[in-house]
Amino acid sequence: MRYRPVQEKRVWLHRRGHSEGWREAPDAEFAGTMPDQPAVISTSEQGGQDELEMLRRIGRQWASSSIVRRQRDRKLPVDLALGVFRPPTPSRFGRFAPVQFFRAEAPDELVATTPASLPETRLGRGIVRIKRVVLGPPLPTSAVSQERMGTVVALAVLGSDLLSSVAYGPEAMIAVLVLGGSAALGLSLPIAAALVALMITLGVSYRQTIRAYPNGAGSYVVASDNLGRRAGLVAAAGLLSDYVLTVAVSVASGVDALTSAAPRLAPHGTAIGLAVILALLGGNLRGVRQAGAIFAAPTYAFLVATVALIVVGLAQAGRRDFQPMAPPPVHATEAVTLFLVLRAFSSGATSMTGLEAVSNALPAFRPVEWRNGQATLTWMVSIMVAMFGGLVTLIHLDGIVPMAGETVLSQLGHAVFGGGLLYAYLQGATLLILMLAANTAYNDFPRLLSFMARDDFAPRLFLRVGDRLALTNGMVVLSTVASLLVITFRGRTESLIPLYAVGVFLAFTLSQTGMVMHWWRNRSAHWRKNIIVNGAGAALTAAVTVTVAVTKFTGGAWVTLLAIPLLVGLFVRIHSHYHFVDTTLSLRDTPSNRSVAHVPADDEVQKVGDGEATPQQMRHLIVVPVSRLHLASLRALAYAASFATPAFAVHIAPSEEDAEKFRERWAAWGNHIRLETIVSPYRAIVPPLTHYLEALHNQRPDLTITVVLYELVPARRWEQLLHSRVAVRLRRALRPLPDLVITSVPFHLYRSTPARDGNMTMGSGGRSRPDRVAEGT
Which residues inside 739-758 make contact with its own copies, applying CB under 8 A?
A: 739-749, 751, 753, 755-758
Residue 608 lies near its own copies (rule: CB under 8 A): yes
Binding flags for its own copies, 123-142, as an x/- string (CB under 8 A): -x-------------xxxxx
DSSP codes joined into one string, 33-64 = PPTTSPSPP-TT-TT-HHHHHHHHHHHHHHHT
Q: How far is the CB of 363 from its own copies (least distance, A)?
A: 21
Instruction: Select from 38, 41, 80, 322 the one that contacts its own copies (CB under 8 A).
Output: 80
- Decide whether 19 or 333 has the Cβ nearer to its own copies: 19
Short-list 311, 169, 305, 177, CA closest to 250 = 169
Dihedral sign (CA 128, 129, 131, 136): positive
| Cβ 574 to its own copies shortest distance, Å | 6
The CB-of-451 to its own copies minimum distance in angstroms stands at 17
Cβ 461 vs Cβ 206: under 8 Å: no
CB closer to its own copies out of 521 and 672: 672
- The distance of closest approach from Cβ of residue 140 to its own copies in the complex, given in angstroms and rounded to an integer, is 4
If one asks whether residue 762 binds its own copies (CB under 8 A), the answer comes out as yes
Q: Is 70 in the site for its own copies (CB under 8 A)?
A: yes
Q: Toward its own copies, which CB reaches closer, 287 or 615?
A: 615
* Contact status: 68 vs its own copies (CB under 8 A): yes
Query: Is residue 76 within the footprint of its own copies (CB under 8 A)?
Result: yes
Shortest Å distance, C-beta 588 to its own copies? 7
With beta carbons less than 8 A apart as the criterion, state whether 748 and 73 touch: no
Cβ proximity to its own copies: between 65 and 182 the closer is 65
Q: What is the signed CA dihedral for 407, 412, 413, 416, rounded to 10 degrees?
A: 170
Does 599 interact with its own copies (rule: CB under 8 A)? yes
- Footprint of its own copies on residues 245-284 (CB under 8 A)? none
Residues 613-642 that bind its own copies (CB under 8 A): 613-621, 627-632, 634-635, 638-639, 641-642
The answer to whether the peptide bond before residue 368 is cis (omega within 30 degrees of 0) is yes
List the x/- string, 470-489, binding to its own copies by CB under 8 A.
--------------------
461 with 446: CB under 8 angstroms?
A: no
Q: CA 290 to CA 361: how far, in whole Å? A: 10
Give the CA angle between residues 572, 441, 166 to the nearest 5°: 125
Pick the binder of its own copies from 765, 770, 773, 775 (CB under 8 A): 765
Query: In terms of C-beta density within 10 A (0-12 exposed, 13-18 middle, 19 or more buried), how is residue 399 classed?
Result: middle
Of 230 and 674, CB closest to its own copies:
674
Interacting residues with its own copies between 17 and 56 (CB under 8 A): 18-19, 21-26, 28-33, 44, 46-47, 52, 55-56
Strands 102-103 and 619-625: unpaired
Residue 59 interacts with its own copies (CB under 8 A): yes or no: yes
CA distance 612 to 625: 25
Q: Which is nearer to its own copies, 282 or 646 (CB)?
A: 646
Across the strands, what pairs with 621?
705
Q: How far is the CB of 344 from its own copies (least distance, A)?
A: 42
**Binding marks (x or -) toward its own copies, 557..576, rule CB under 8 A?**
-----------------x--
Q: Does 605 bind its own copies (CB under 8 A)?
A: yes
Least distance to its own copies, CB of residue 559, Å: 22
Site for its own copies in 700-739 (CB under 8 A): 700-701, 703-704, 706, 711-714, 719, 721-724, 726, 733, 735-739
DSSP secondary structure letters along 222-270 = HHHHHH-HHHHHHHHHHHHHHHHHHHHHHHHHHHHHHHHH-GGGGGGHH
Per-residue 3-state assignment (H helix, E strand, C coil) for 525-587: CCHHHHHHHHHHHHHHHHHHHHHHHHHCHHHHHHHHHHHHHHHHHHHHHHHHHHHHHHHHHCC
Alpha-carbon separation of residue 338 from 334, 350, 351, 543, 767 (angstroms)? 11, 19, 21, 15, 75
Q: Closer CB to its own copies, residue 86 or residue 129?
A: 86
Angle, vertex CA 214, rays to CA 211 and CA 220, nearest 5: 100
Measuring CA to CA, which residue among 13, 11, 38, 12 is closest to residue 27?
38
| Pairing label, strands 13-14, 647-653 | unpaired
CB of 515 to its own copies, least distance (A): 33
Q: Interaction with its own copies in 649-678: which residues (CB under 8 A)?
A: 652-663, 665, 668-678
Instruction: Kindly tell me which of 147 and 719 has the beta carbon lying closer to its own copies.
Output: 719
CA dist 568 to 410, 449, 467, 572, 574, Å?
40, 13, 31, 6, 10
Question: Considering the rule CB under 8 A, would residue 121 count as an interface residue with its own copies?
Answer: yes
Q: Select the span of 72-80, 239-247, 249-257, 394-402 touching its own copies (CB under 8 A).
A: 72-80
Contacts of 64 (CB under 8 A, 6+ apart): 616
Pair 273, 251: CB distance under 8 Å: yes
| Among the listed residues 72, 331, 523, 717, the single contact to its own copies using CB under 8 A | 72
Residue type, 525: A
Q: Is 457 an interacting residue with respect to its own copies (CB under 8 A)?
A: no
Q: Under a CB-based contact definition with an 8 Å cutoff, are residues 746 and 711 in contact?
A: yes
The residue among 526 and 573 lying less far from its own copies, judged by its C-beta, is: 573
Site for its own copies in 151-180 (CB under 8 A): none
DSSP lists the bridge partners of residue 149 as 365
Stretch of 198-206, 340-348, 364-372, 458-466 contacting its own copies, by CB under 8 A: 458-466
| Helices 408-417 + 169-177 axis angle, to 10 | 100
Q: Which is nearer to its own copies, 146 or 698 (CB)?
A: 698
User: Considering beta carbons, is residue 49 or 554 the nearer one to its own copies?
Assistant: 49
| Minimum distance from residue 366 beta carbon to its own copies (Å) | 27
114 is a site residue for its own copies (CB under 8 A): yes
How far is it, in rounded angstroms, from Cα 584 to Cα 288? 40
**Residue 588 vs residues 58, 62, 295, 738: alpha-carbon distances, Å:** 8, 13, 52, 20
Binding span for its own copies by CB under 8 A among 119-127, 256-264, 265-273, 443-451? 119-127
Cα atoms in the 13 Å half-sphere on the side-chain side of 276: 29
Residue in 473, 688, 547, 630 with CA at minimum distance from that of residue 28: 473
* Smaller CB separation from its own copies, 358 or 622: 622
602 interacts with its own copies by CB under 8 A: yes
Q: Does 696 bind its own copies (CB under 8 A)?
A: yes
- Give the range of 77-85, 325-333, 369-377, 478-486 binding its own copies by CB under 8 A: 77-85
338 or 597, CB closer to its own copies? Answer: 597
Q: Of residues 129, 320, 526, 691, which one binds its own copies by CB under 8 A? A: 691
Does 687 participate in binding its own copies (rule CB under 8 A)?
A: yes
CA distance 364 to 210: 13
Shortest Å distance, C-beta 248 to its own copies: 24
HSE, CB side, 13 Å, CA atoms: give it for residue 101. 20
Residue 3 or 339 with smaller CB distance to its own copies: 3
Residue 322: how many CA atoms within 13 Å on its side-chain side?
4
**Contact region for its own copies (CB under 8 A) — 100-108, 205-213, 255-263, 325-333?**
100-108
Instruction: Cis check for the bond before 312: say yes or no (omega within 30 of 0).
Output: no
- Judged by beta carbon, residue 536 or residue 713, the one nearer its own copies is 713
- Among 606, 771, 774, 777, indicate the residue that binds its own copies (CB under 8 A): 606
